[in-house]
Structure 1
Amino acid sequence: MKNITVTMDDTVAEWVRVEAAKRGSSVSRLLGEWLAEKMRQEDAYAQAMREALGFESWGVSTGPYVPRETLFLR
């Protein structure tokens, strides 16, 4: 584990102290958990994006495309 220093506004520091106390946790542990969750979300998003960008189509159309006018009849 690494110790780091975090700088924040006084109002933010007070809020996070209260949130940590509500959860029976320390500010350090609470911030660590929040950042770990953020990291997992970012990793999952990046993985989904890689999979989406690597998606290959199921094939090429063998016929003409449907004209725009046909799709959007009024």
Structure 2
Amino acid sequence: MEKQNVTLSLPKETLRKAKILAAERQTSLSALLTKTLEEIVAKSDMYEIAKQRQLVLMERGFDFGIEETPAWTRDELHER
């Protein structure tokens, strides 16, 4: 995969903590950020796929086996 450099502006304290976290995980700050961003993008992609699948299902509707005209009347349902 082709890579491209980017410049980030982070609060100093956030950067300090991120460097410590990367060191604790025995990785570089770049690798830590790459992995985190890839996870965020993958989750977003999966969400969009699921959303589109659900929109198709909603548009198509569901067959609950109910006829166009019910075989019963409202009064029959409410008889006591």
Give the shorter-chain TM-score range.
0.7 to 0.9
Letter in 1 for 2:45: D
Deviation per CA, 1:44-64: give whole Å up to 9, x if none: 000000000010222374338
Structure 2 Cα separation of the partners of residues 7 and 58 of structure 1: 50
TM-score (norm 1): 0.78
Q: Where in structure 1 are there 5+ consecutive unaligned residues? A: none
Asked whether 1:23 is paired with 2:36, we answer: no
Unaligned runs of 5+ in 2: none
Question: Runs (4+) of structure 1 moved beyond 2 Å?
Answer: 58-64
User: Number of paired residues?
Assistant: 66
Are 2:59 and 1:58 aligned?
A: no
Aligned letter for 2:19? R
Identity across the alignment (%): 23
Q: Could you tell me the TM-score, scaled by structure 2's length?
A: 0.73
Distance in 2 of aligned mates of 1:57 and 1:41? 27
The residue identity in structure 2 corresponding to 1:59 is D
